[in-house]
Amino acid sequence: MCLDTLDKETRQTEYGYKVFIKENECLLSCYFTIPYKENKWYKSESENKLFVSKFARLPFISDKNQYYTEGFHFFYDKRDAEYLASHFNSSTSRHVVRKVKVRNIVASGTELIKCLNVGVAREMFICREEV
């Protein structure tokens, strides 16, 4: 997930929603297949800067004047997470939506050509219950 637009003021919240791939007792990131466990806090140690992408499907077109610190991307609205999960879903899909607690939100904006509201947090706790 990359932000297509960046809000002027970062939107704050305590909770959000994230799409994972369920693999046995593990949850995997949809894009990097990084394994996560439920009921555990994760902290992003990276200080990399990501440029705002003008179009989600054309990542080579970016606005070099806007960037944000790398972190855990999450959706503010459960419906947005479910929308993304439905794009992945097929008869063999294992995509699930989990509620996440977030701290230290460093960016917010939209992705997938301005239709989904997304935040980027430096810390994330994955709640056990499936949404």
Domain-wise residue ranges, the chain = 5-130
pLDDT per residue as tens digits for the range 1-11: 678 888 889 99
pLDDT score for 36: 93
- For residue 119, the Cα-to-chain-centroid distance in whole angstroms is 7
pLDDT per residue as tens digits for the range 10-66: 999 999 999 999 888 889 988 777 899 999 999 998 887 776 765 444 444 445 567
- For residue 130, the Cα-to-chain-centroid distance in whole angstroms is 16
Residue positions counted in the chain: 131
The pTM is what? Answer: 0.84
pLDDT per residue as tens digits for the range 82-93: 988 888 766 556
